[in-house]
């Protein structure tokens, strides 16, 4: 399954902006989903916000593929914990590390349990991309 990420940009200081939600679509237990994000500018100032409202205590995980540029490097992390899987996590990424040669960033999110947990049904997983221009 794949989701094309709708970007939220902030172009002016001291202004309100509504975050654009990108909701997981996977309803298959254990199935990972790729969120494809395309930055609007080459500023490198991007915050990814991951939100899980898990019905269990199984944290989700994310992996951002290493980019095709000279400064490449993968970024990984966990959303939630084993005591409270419902969580909102924010990670600021250096786009030069993860930008592919086609201008996209591939973010793979896994439900954390391959037997029973689903990204949409159990985690109600949502991702936001906030770009400061």
pLDDT in tens, 20-54: 999 999 999 889 999 999 998 777 779 999 998 87
Query: Which one is predicted more confidently, 57 or 60?
Result: 60
Structure tokens at 90: 């924010």
Query: Which one is predicted more confidently, 53 or 76?
Result: 76
pLDDT exceeds 80 at position 107: yes
pLDDT exceeds 70 at position 57: no
Fold of 2-11+23-132: Jelly Rolls (2.60.120)
**Structure confidence at residue 55 (pLDDT):** 66
Strand blocks (E) in the chain: 2-4, 7-10, 22-23, 33-37, 46-52, 60-64, 75-79, 87-93, 105-110, 126-132
* Mean pLDDT of the residues in the chain: 87
pLDDT exceeds 90 at position 112: no
């Amino acid at each position: 399954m794949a989701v094309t990420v709708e970007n939220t940009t902030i172009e002016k200081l001291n202004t309100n902006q509504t975050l654009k939600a990108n909701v997981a679509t996977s309803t298959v237990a254990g199935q990972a989903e790729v969120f494809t994000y395309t930055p609007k500018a080459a500023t490198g100032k991007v915050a990814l916000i991951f939100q899980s409202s898990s019905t269990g205590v199984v944290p989700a995980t994310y992996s951002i593929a290493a980019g095709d540029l000279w400064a490449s490097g993968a970024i990984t992390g966990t959303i939630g914990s084993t005591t409270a899987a419902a969580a909102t996590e924010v990670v600021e990424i250096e786009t030069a590390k993860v930008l592919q040669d086609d201008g996209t960033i591939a973010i793979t999110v896994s439900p954390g349990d391959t037997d029973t947990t689903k990204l949409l049904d159990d985690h109600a997983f949502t991702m936001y991309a906030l770009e400061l221009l």
